Amino acid sequence: MLLPMDTRTIPQSNTAAFFLQSVIAFGASLAAAVIGMLYLPMDPWQRGFIGITMLFLTSSTFTLAKVVRDRQEQAAVMARLDEARVERLIADHDPYLPNKTNAA
């Protein structure tokens, strides 16, 4: 008896240590940038411009990460749908059934 091969992908999740390392790295880099901006010898309007730029850069980074993740998830869902369609076609196809148009 032949069994169909299971080709499902194993869901990958991040460990708690990796998540914590990412949060700490993000916090440290953002804090270093803010502290560096505050101690630079600049006029207030220049400091404000750098601050707004860092805020925009941070929000754009989160948006880019979300878009990349969404695109990967969409590709995985489309691949699973295509695989399900093919498996259904194979399961529904029986070469030994008489053709319905020839049965009349």
Q: CB within 8 A of 76, min separation 6: which ones? A: 9
Mean pLDDT, residues 47-68: 94
Measured distance CA(46)–CA(40) in Å, rounded = 10
Residue 104: what pLDDT?
46
pLDDT score of 56 more than 70: yes
Mean pLDDT, residues 93-102: 66
Tell me the pLDDT tens digit for each residue of 24-34.
999 999 999 99
pTM: 0.57
pLDDT score of 5 more than 90: no
